Structure 1
Amino acid sequence: MMTRRNAIKTTVLATAAIATVPGAIGQPAPAGPFTLPPLPYAFDALEPHIDARTMEIHHDRHHKAYVDNLNKALADSPDLKNKSVVDLLRDLNSVPEKIRTAVRNHGGGHLNHTDFWLMMKKDGGGQPKAELAKAIEKNFGNLTDFKTKFTEAATKVFGSGWAWLVLQDGRLTVESSPNQDSPLSSGKQPLLGLDVWEHAYYLKYQNKRADYIAAWWNVVNWDFVAERYAKLAK
């Protein structure tokens, strides 16, 4: 079984190795301002709900591709390189039109996945606590009704996208977004997100998205979600 330390070491080494491999047009991977963050736990930490191989591919290949392509999109825009991905996504209209779609897609993919890893943990699940629990009860009635609404949003995403619990104007709502669109771009704060792209679950669940969604509730990191809510709701 891979330990957390070994997983992070493997991730870092793999990332460094991939960065030196020429791309499809003979160019090395761009080394811009954004980097792939290490997975905060071992690849197998979320077993049996999310398998280790899926986590490895999802992080080391898919997430890395978003980082590399975001850096590539910004390569000729030095005035944007010092902006955080949050700032870029919050103000997409300030991004030149010729790279706006790339920043939306790859910047969104980078931020969504960075958050996604933190929104899950080994031995997760259970119930939210503190002010988040009260807010869920206030906005949805109870946790069961919230989970039902969130599950429906994730299930109904057509093709690839995300389901979200978001905060806007002091109110919690559930929504979905296509592709890698971030709630930040529409003025909302993401608290909890579920990736329902097929690459997030197909190795283990094939076309059974509903089974993946049901299993995912067992790894939700409610502590992280509650902490983010506490900071944003002030």
Structure 2
Amino acid sequence: MPSATQASTTASGYPYKLAPLPYDYGALEPYIDAETMKLHHDKHHQAYVDNLNKALEKYPDLQKKSPEQLLRDLKQIPEDTRAAVRGNGGGHVNHTMFWEIMKPKGGGEPAGPIAAAIRTNFGSFDAFKTQFNEAGTRRFGSGWVWLVSNPGGKLEIVSTANQDSPITDGKYPILGNDVWEHAYYLKYQNRRADYLSAWWNTLNWDEINRRFQKASTGL
């Protein structure tokens, strides 16, 4: 069972490793069920890590980079392994963030700098949630919906296909929700909108504020 206190971080050294969840599998009940968390973390995320390591086996120079650096410099990746790095590196980075921005007994109204930024950019938290959920519902097939910071610092809601990361487009993901079916189908079946609505009850606003402040400093 993963430790409830050990924080999940993206490893920068090759071979990349899957960190434990920062809470127990069932800690996000009733919004995300324990069986989904086991499969999502232990099987799906682990597969992205394993496949990323395999994609870089014959590229020792690339092994020195963090997964985020690989995604940021994707055009510099050799063509024969670029698609594998894009999909599996994205899957690793996206999911690492995903576990960290949720917590037991989370949710509620945001506070701190991110709350003010949401009001400035979207008018209100409720308006932001509505736009975010609509973007997630409209994403055809597998993908993610994000709140990102653009290079100029403006916040924007975007969605990406498959495991594509906003990092590749020069945008910093502050929070994001996984709308692949494996993220919700055991509990919600085809009701993606219900999953999107319930997910707000899991959010870790302290971590989201940390990510927002990191984006603000240009790191």
Shorter-chain TM-score tier: over 0.9
Taking structure 2 as the reference length, what is the TM-score of the superposition? 0.93
Counterpart of 2:125 in structure 1 is 143
Q: 1:73 aligns with which of 55, 61, 65?
A: 55
Counterpart for residue 177 of structure 2: 194
* Code of the aligned partner of 1:222: W
| Matched length | 208
Deviation at 1:8, TM superposition (A): 3.5
Residue 7 of structure 1 pairs with residue 2 of structure 2: yes
Structure 2 match to 1:15: none
Match of residue 90, structure 1, among 72, 79, 94: 72
Higher helix share: 1
Structure 2 counterpart of 1:50, one-letter code = I
CA RMSD after TM alignment:
1.3
The code of the aligned residue for 2:170 comes to G
What letter corresponds to residue 39 of structure 1 in structure 2?
Answer: L
1:155 equivalent to 2:137? Answer yes
Map residues 32-181 of structure 1 onto 2, 5 A cutoff.
Answer: 32-168=14-150, 169-181=152-164
1:186 aligned partner, one-letter code: D
Q: Which runs of 5+ in 2 are unaligned?
A: 5-13
Shift of 1:52: 0.2
Using the alignment, how far apart are the partners of 2:180 and 2:214 within structure 1?
Answer: 29
Moved over 4 A (4+): none
Q: 1:183, 1:205 → 2: CA distance?
A: 27
Which consecutive residues of structure 1, in runs of 5 or more, have no partner in the other structure? 1-5, 10-31
Give the structure 2 partner of residue 24 of structure 1.
none
- Residues 64-100 of structure 1 show CA distances to partners (whole Å, capped at 9, x for unaligned) of 0000000000001111001000100001011001100
Q: Which amino acid aligns with 1:214?
A: S
Give TM-score, length-normalised by structure 1. 0.87
Q: Take 1:193 and 1:76, find their aligned partners in 2: how far apart are those partners?
A: 32
Q: Aligned partners of 1:225 and 1:124: how far apart in 2? A: 12
Match of 2:216 in 1: 233
Q: What percent identity do the matched residue pairs reach?
A: 58
Which amino acid letter does the alignment assign opposite residue 151 of structure 1?
A: N
Amino acid at match of 1:119: I
2:174 touches 2:215 (CA, 8 Å); kept in 1?
no
Q: Secondary structure at the match of 2:132?
A: helix
1:59 shift after superposition: 0.3
Distance between the aligned counterparts of 2:112 and 2:31, measured in 1?
A: 26
Q: Would you say the 8 A contact 2:145–2:178 is kept in 1?
A: yes
Instruction: Please give the alpha-carbon distance, in whole angstroms, between the structure 2 residues aligned to 1:79 and 1:233.
Output: 30
Question: Which of residues 182, 185, 188 in structure 2 aligns to 1:205?
Answer: 188
In structure 2, C-alpha distance between the alignment counterparts of 1:188 and 1:231, rounded to whole Å: 12
Q: Distance in 1 between matches of 2:216 and 2:201?
A: 25
Q: Given that residues 33 and 82 in structure 1 are in contact (C-alpha distance below 8 angstroms), is that contact kept between their aligned partners in structure 2?
A: no
Aligned counterparts of 2:50 and 2:200: Cα–Cα separation in 1: 30
Amino acid at match of 2:166: P
